[in-house]
Amino acid sequence: MARAYPKLRPHSGQRVASVGNVFMHAGHVASAASRSTTVETAALASSSRSSFQWASRALRAASRFSGRVTRRRRGAHPVSQSSGATTRASISAASRTSASSCRYDASPCAITASSIWSPSSVGASASPVLTSFSSVMRHILRKFDRSSASTLATFARGAVVAGLLAVVTEAQQVVRFDFGAKARKTQDAWNNVHQAVTAGVLVRDAIDAERRRTSLDLRQVDGWSGINVDGCVKGGPWPGSATRDSFYVGDHDDRRAVLWLEDLTPGAKVDLLLYGSRIGAPGDRVTVFRVGKARLRLDAQDNVSRRARIAKAVADSRGRIEIVVEAPKPGGLAYLGVLEVRGTFQDAATHRAPAESVHGPPHTTARTWAIADGRTGHILHEHFGHAPREMASTTKIMTAWIALDLADRKPGLLDGVVTVSAVADRTGGSTAGVRTGERLPLKELLFGLLLPSGNDAAVAIAEYLGPRLPISGSGVTPVARFVDEMNRRARVLGLKQTLYLDPHGYSKNRTCAVDLLKLTWTAMQNSTFRSYVATRTRKVSIVTPSGRRREAHWTNTNRLLAIDGYDGVKTGVTRTAGSCLVSSGRRADRHLLVAVLGATSTPARDVDTRNLFRWAWRQ
């Protein structure tokens, strides 16, 4: 039940008491507002309009005295004349905010806590302002009502309560994300994420705990291995539907996932709470969370209530915070079930992206891209160029380069005959159409690798060359040994974001646009490689298991080769990687290399690439 307040009486000396009552009312309203967004109470409706008007006039009159009073003050907080001017302005602003922000009519008065006395009204010199108020109000009390000894205390107490509660009620927003199975969504103001391997924006305009839609977006840059449903069922810090399932990463050699929080105010600080749980399974479940320079460990094994907290994570100049989740040891698994973000976010309805510039590179559908000088390999421009992404069949640049590099060292290797195995024949994805038991020279099979982007050709080449490579890792099969060599060469070249799991890219091989251009520039130094990737069509003769010959016709998937000036190098596309393309282009005496990763379609990646070439050639 609403508390009954006395009417404000705007007569004689009690007008001063009215000022105190106004702020006492503000204090009570602010206290209630801390429990609800808007308070409607009939108590203020009984107060006369003139009381509010008089309160406003009294505070403005106080501002005229404040400079004089503060200059006369002596004690612990001396205030200069300039401070007095600031105080007068602050008091005047406070009077306008306090009186005019109260919507007064015959109906109940609706007041929000932030409109009563906001910190911006008081200003930075809050202590001198309140002290000056005391001095000014003593003067007013002596002038109007010397007997009202308690009025000053009433005024000051109400004002301070209103101001402090206005600060308290301007609380941080809380946005929660639940990572897990689609069938186990968490209801009631949670943002559910169930695309474990999909790259791109997973949640747009996330809702906060009050169901307000914010500008905050969640983007997945590097996906996960899968979804775990054996986490904490009850007793955790959040509902069981949120803590029971989670995303995990750690299959094979891929031990890292990357998320971005986007559309924050540049420089904004937020607090992060991260949680993961795996109940009942033995093994290493230590999870490492990295945000900026912060690095925290959380053991998800049989975890019920442990959480990792990262305080004051700062958004970069693009309004983005990167969260890296990784398993620190080979064979370990890392988990993320809940992400809680606390901060102040813009409203989705009013948030607008910065105005588009008429300068700079073109907009692209590609998630990341980079441009390099074809003569030196130096990176000229990039957009999220170091962000890790799946690379799809651009993997085959490394596969072909290793084969040709070995051939340079071992004359006659390209003339060796490769027999296609059943394993190669059954490889999924794009294909060169070679079948079990068929035979053809390595130099011809490389066309099947690079033109139609044959995954079957990639496996056949790895099986053929693997036994000729030294054992440098854990690989025991020819293909595993070849993949070890791919990763070894990536390390030698300094490709820090690159990881190979297969020789063709149909799984989750990852790289970044900058790494991919470093590799491509190195491969393009080989004249035989340049000849292969510039070939548009090829007809080859294949010997069948019965000894008969058949012809195969292969066409390059790189459509830019049909345009004068483009001379390579490799395409790639999978559902999770999007459309990828590494290209070489020449105009006059300029040679550029362009890599785009994660475009929305094959035509889009071609348009993205051509626009980037046109822009870069003009720089």
Catalytically active residues, by annotation: 393, 396, 453
For residues 296 and 310, is the Cβ–Cβ distance under 8 A? yes
Report helix, strand and coil shares of the chain as percent, to nearest 5: 35, 25, 40
Which of 425, 253, 445 minimizes the C-alpha distance to 333?
A: 253
Q: How many helices and strands, by DSSP H and E, does the chain display?
A: 15, 27
Q: Is 99 exposed, middle or buried (0-12, 13-18, 19+ CB in 10 A)?
A: buried
For residues 216 and 261, is the Cβ–Cβ distance under 8 A? yes
Q: Is 571 exposed, middle or buried (0-12, 13-18, 19+ CB in 10 A)?
A: buried
Q: What are phi and psi of 17, to 5 degrees?
A: -60, -30
Chain centre to alpha carbon of residue 40: 39
**In angstroms, how far is the first alpha carbon of the chain from the final one?**
71
> What sections of 493-549 are H helices per DSSP?
513-523, 527-533
Q: Is 456 exposed, middle or buried (0-12, 13-18, 19+ CB in 10 A)?
A: buried
- Reported as type and span, the H/E element at residue 218 is strand 217-222
- For β-strands 109-112 and 578-587, DSSP reports them as unpaired
273: tokens are 């709470």
Q: How far apart are CA 582 and CA 301, in angstroms?
A: 42
Which of 568, 583, 593 minimizes the C-alpha distance to 373?
A: 593
> What sections of 207-360 are H helices per DSSP?
240-243
HSE-CB of 92 using CA atoms within 13 angstroms? 12
Place of tokens 């000088």: 373
Q: Could you tell me the CA-to-CA distances from 126 to 90, 164, 545 in Å, in that order?
A: 9, 11, 90
214-215-216-217 Cα dihedral, nearest 10 degrees: 120
Q: Could you tell me the CA-to-CA distances from 421 to 232, 373, 414 in Å, in that order?
A: 46, 40, 18
Q: What are phi and psi of 159, to 5 degrees?
A: -65, -45
Q: Contacts by 296-299 with C-beta closer than 8 Å and gap 24+?
A: 297/328, 298/274
